[in-house]
């Protein structure tokens, strides 16, 4: 069945009653209150204080003030008919020093948030780690220090015991390829480290930590729905020539396969990216038994596609991306190509792994230049973007792909990491001076879809 236009009245009929519709957020990007009620510093608090690291010198210290306004924003989730709300736990709000004494005020905050969601009939979906490592642990080596497997296990245990009686849907970590690649190899995200000497140990310790966290959830939360989310981009070669095709395969291995395959028990893709073979020295006896987990679902997070060409001058992978702005295609404010079929192709790609039971699109959305006029935001480009991408999800589902959910990124405009407050992804506009919220046309459209 080909659906050229998604009729909002047919959404439940087409996707089914069990399809999980939701919206995703992250603690660092929305909470603010960076040092309130005993919270410790995170690597992003530190990184954003360094000159030139964040666009326009922006800082996440206030963000959307969600820490104080969570009831207002959960009310918006309910008003938009969104049944599932994904958020993360700030590690340094629970453990200000990363380990040791628990900050009860942090536990109380998330208990209050979870309870308010349930009171409003909104199902909480919790991500344990969404990039905001406590600075105190980074000072000890962060993800390059093997001890972090134990540190993360302690944090996951605390979260599970505190919230597992009410939260049944869990994601262990968000987009490991991004926070290790950008933070420990390229240095463009916190903590700003570079090189293989940081990247390779971080990869392996993250894999071990994800499995450790998932096993803790399985043991302590009966009936938990446990997953992990993975960033992915549809990769195409620049031309139908062997060198470009091989370059695209190397890029695909690094961008799309680096974490999902070891976590499914398939090992690291070292055949395609030989520079990854250096990871072997960090794999200790007994590690292989602790590198895979039988997840209940895999979170797919896709925004765009990339065109890749062979590049002799690019170290390690011999491939480079052709920037979307040089290809004459429609762009978002992140300078990402608008290419809805990408999400279809990535769902098909992940579905081909026989170990995967279920897929959920845990992030998809777009940043466009929104304008407030007469207290309204008529963001039709975002409406079209969401509609076209949801159509592609439906196409995959109708072809038998095991996709059982779709979460929009994101609820409110927020702090977008190194891009600061410039890119606006939200269904709800935020005035960062007054903290006033305005539901955009895209928010009303999504609410109608889910009504």
Q: What is the pLDDT of residue 7?
A: 55
pLDDT digits (tens, 9 = 90+) for 224-241: 999 999 999 999 999 999
Q: Note the pLDDT tens digit of each residue in 202-214.
A: 999 999 999 999 9
- Give one DSSP letter per residue of 104-141, joined into a string: HHHHHHHHHHHHHHHHTT-EEEEEEESS--BHHHHTTT
- Going by pLDDT thresholds of 50, 70 and 90, the confidence category of residue 5 is low
Residue 2 in domain = no
Query: Could you write out the DSSP letters of every residue in 348-374?
Result: HHHHT-TT---EEEEE--------EET
- Residue ranges making up the domain that contains 307: 8-450
H helical segments located in 53-103:
66-79, 91-94
Nearest CA-CA partner of 303 in 170, 410, 419? 410
1 inside domain:
no
pLDDT at 189 over 90: yes
Q: What's the DSSP call for residue 173?
A: E
| Share of residues in the chain with pLDDT > 90 (%) | 96
Q: Assess contact for 429 and 437: CB atoms under 8 A.
A: yes
**Model pLDDT for residues 413-449, shown as the tens digit of each residue:** 999 999 999 999 999 999 999 999 999 999 999 999 9
* Best CA proximity match to 18, nearest among 434, 280, 297: 297
Number of domains forming the structure of the chain: 1
Summarised one tens digit per residue, pLDDT across range 333-342 is 999 999 999 9
Whether 98 is in a domain gets the answer yes
Q: What's the pTM value of the predicted model, to 2 decimals?
A: 0.97
Question: Can you give the pLDDT at residue 8?
Answer: 52
User: Measured between alpha carbons, how far is 197 from 191 in angstroms, rounded to an integer?
Assistant: 14
Round to whole Å and give the CA distance between 428 and 58. Answer: 20
% pLDDT > 70, the chain: 98
In a domain, 3, yes or no: no
Q: pLDDT tier at 6 (50, 70, 90 boundaries)?
A: low
Q: In whole angstroms, what is the distance from residue 364 CA to residue 302 CA?
A: 6
Which residues belong to the active site? Answer: 175, 363
3-state SS assignment for residue 86: strand
What mean pLDDT is reported for the chain?
97
Alpha carbons 317 and 193: distance in angstroms, whole number:
19
Q: What whole-number distance in Å separates Cα of residue 413 and Cα of residue 396?
A: 29
59-96 residue pLDDT tens: 999 999 999 999 999 999 999 999 999 999 999 999 99
pLDDT in the model for residue 172: 99
> How does DSSP assign 205-245, residue by residue?
HHHHHHHHHHHHHHHHSTT-EEEEEEEEEEEEESSSSHHHH
Compute the distance between CA of residue 84 and CA of residue 363 in angstroms, rounded to an integer: 13
Tokens 């040092």 belong to which residue? 35
DSSP assignment letter at 174: E
Could you give the CA distance from residue 302 to residue 447 in angstroms, rounded to a whole number? 22
CA dihedral 128, 129, 134, 138 (to 10 degrees): 140
pLDDT of residue 4: 44
Output DSSP code: residue 253.
I
Task: In whole angstroms, give the CA distance from residue 144 to residue 206.
Answer: 9
* pLDDT tens digits, one per residue of 313-334: 999 999 999 999 999 999 999 9
Phi, psi for 108 (deg, rounded to 5): -60, -40
Residue 167 is assigned to a structural domain of this protein: yes
Instruction: Give a yes or no: residue 244 inside a domain.
Output: yes
pLDDT tens profile 288-302? 999 999 999 999 999
Quick check: helix, strand or coil at residue 321? Answer: strand
Is 177 a residue whose pLDDT tops 90? Answer: yes
Residue 24 sits in a domain whose CATH number is: 3.20.20.80
Residue with tokens 């087409």: 14
Domain membership flag for residue 315: yes
3 contacts 394 by C-beta, under 8 angstroms: yes
CA 368 to chain centre: 19
If 0-12 CB within 10 Å is exposed, 13-18 middle and 19+ buried, where does residue 388 land? Answer: middle
The pLDDT tens digits for 347-405 are: 999 999 999 999 999 999 999 999 999 999 999 999 999 999 999 999 999 999 999 99
pLDDT, tens only, 405-422: 999 999 999 999 999 999
* pLDDT higher than 90, residue 9: no
Distances (CA, A) of 260 to 176, 178, 293: 10, 13, 10
């Amino acid at each position: 069945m080909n659906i050229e236009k998604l009729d909002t009245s047919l959404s439940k009929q087409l996707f089914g009653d069990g399809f999980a519709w939701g919206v995703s957020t992250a603690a660092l990007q929305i909470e603010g209150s960076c040092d309130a009620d005993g919270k410790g510093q995170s690597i992003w608090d530190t990184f954003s204080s360094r000159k030139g690291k964040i666009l326009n010198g922006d800082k996440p210290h206030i963000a959307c003030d969600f820490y104080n306004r969570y009831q207002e924003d959960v009310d918006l989730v309910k008003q938009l008919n969104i049944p599932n709300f994904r958020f993360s736990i700030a590690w340094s709000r629970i453990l200000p020093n990363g380990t040791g004494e628990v900050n009860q005020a942090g536990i109380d905050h998330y208990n209050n948030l979870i309870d308010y969601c349930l009171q409003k009939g909104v199902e909480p979906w919790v991500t344990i780690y969404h990039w905001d490592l406590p600075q105190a642990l980074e000072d000890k080596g962060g993800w390059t220090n093997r001890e972090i497997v134990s540190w993360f296990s302690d944090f996951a245990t605390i979260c599970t015991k505190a919230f597992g009686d009410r939260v049944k849907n869990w994601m262990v970590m968000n987009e490991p390829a991004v926070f290790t690649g950008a933070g420990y190899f390229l240095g463009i995200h916190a903590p700003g480290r570079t090189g293989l000497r940081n990247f390779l140990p971080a990869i392996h310790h993250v894999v071990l930590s994800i499995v450790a966290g998932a096993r803790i959830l399985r043991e302590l939360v009966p009936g938990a729905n446990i997953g992990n989310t993975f960033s992915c981009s549809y990769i195409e070669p620049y031309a139908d020539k062997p060198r470009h095709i091989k370059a695209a395969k190397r890029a695909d291995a690094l961008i799309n396969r680096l974490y999902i395959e070891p976590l499914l028990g398939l090992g690291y893709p070292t055949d395609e990216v030989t520079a990854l073979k250096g990871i072997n020295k960090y794999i200790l006896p007994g590690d292989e038994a602790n590198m895979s987990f039988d997840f209940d679902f895999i979170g797919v997070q896709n925004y765009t596609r990339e065109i890749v060409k062979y590049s002799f001058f690019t170290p390690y992978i011999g491939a480079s991306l052709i920037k979307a702005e040089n290809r004459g295609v429609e762009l978002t404010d992140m300078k990402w190509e608008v290419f809805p079929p990408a999400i279809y192709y990535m769902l098909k790609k992940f579905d081909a792994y026989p170990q995967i039971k279920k897929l959920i699109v845990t992030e998809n959305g777009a940043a466009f230049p929104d304008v407030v006029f007469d207290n309204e935001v008529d963001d039709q480009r975002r409406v079209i973007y969401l509609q076209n991408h949801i159509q592609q999800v439906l196409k995959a589902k109708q072809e038998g792909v095991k996709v059982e959910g779709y979460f929009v990124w994101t609820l409110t405009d927020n702090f977008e990491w190194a891009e600061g407050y410039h890119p606006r992804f939200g269904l709800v506009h935020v005035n960062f001076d007054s903290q006033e919220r305005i539901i955009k046309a895209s928010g009303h459209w999504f609410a109608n879809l889910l009504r």
